[in-house]
Amino acid sequence: MQIIRIPALFDNYIFLLHDPQQKIAAVVDPAVAEPVLAQLQQLQAELVAIFNTHHHSDHIGGNHQLLQRFPNLCVYGGKEDRGRIPGQQVFLEEGDRVSFANRTAEVLFVPGHTRAHIAYYFPPEPPTQPGELFCGDTLFAGGCGRLFEGTPAQMVESLNKIRALPDSTRIWCAHEYTLKNLQFALTVDAENPDLKDRFIQVKQMRRQNEATIPSLLGIEKQTNPFLRWDRPSLQASTHSQDALQTFRRLRGMKDQF
């Protein structure tokens, strides 16, 4: 399974999953249809599935047009998003599985950014290869999504699910927010040497207009404050007494950053 990153809108990423043997493809969170259609034409591939993580317009904006072009494709989304994702036919919940290109993804229910958000995790196959997590707006490189419909407790539980995955997991999040996220992270975790090094690296990458996605979960655990809410240094910098309070205050600070 090949993964092709397609830039869209201002800072979105659409991910096209491609099976060159069968000449088929699936798309994760098509913000718009045109660049997806162009890539499909270049690959001479048929689109067979849309995997939506949640209902926000910059993740579903291309659904209608893609369905018009490929009326037999299947649209997947979270069970709680019923009525909010155009063309949705499959309503997924925690523990469900979806298949593409001889790979099977596990569905994670990860509310917080929205009440119905899901993620798609393709475990390593073979075991020596990294797993692939398509997490929408739940986890970002260096950050996490704003809480529009969910609660801090829900988001912490969701991020804990992600944090439990192998460090080698590649994180395919839907936005190029990494540099600004790390700028914020340095204000609350300034003595973290891994974070300092990563900030320098990402700043150089963005100067050269290089994408910072995918990230690696192991790097996120070392540098992303929204996976480090139980670290004493972050509890101290947020004047918090426990992990949930730390997360709540971090999220509030980031919202104002």
Catalytic residue numbers?
A: 54, 56, 58-59, 113, 137, 175
Q: For residue 190, what are the contacts with CB-CB under 8 A and spacing of at least 6?
A: none
Quick one: DSSP state of residue 45? -
Listing DSSP states for 159-199 in one string gives HHHHHTS-TT-EEEESB--HHHHHHHHHHH-TT-HHHHHHH
Q: Roughly how many angstroms between the first and final C-alpha of the chain, as a whole number?
A: 38
Q: Is 219 helix (H, G, I), strand (E, B) or coil?
A: helix
Helix 243-255 to helix 152-163 angle (10° resolution) is: 110
Q: For residue 108, what are the contacts with CB-CB under 8 A and spacing of at least 6?
A: 94, 118, 119, 120, 121, 158, 161, 162
Residue with tokens 């048929």: 46
Could you tell me which of 187, 253, 182 has the C-alpha nearest to residue 212? 182
Longest dimension (CA), the chain: 56
Q: Are 118 and 78 in contact (CB under 8 A)?
A: yes
Distances from the Cα of 211 to the Cα of 31, 170, 189, 208, angstroms:
18, 14, 24, 9
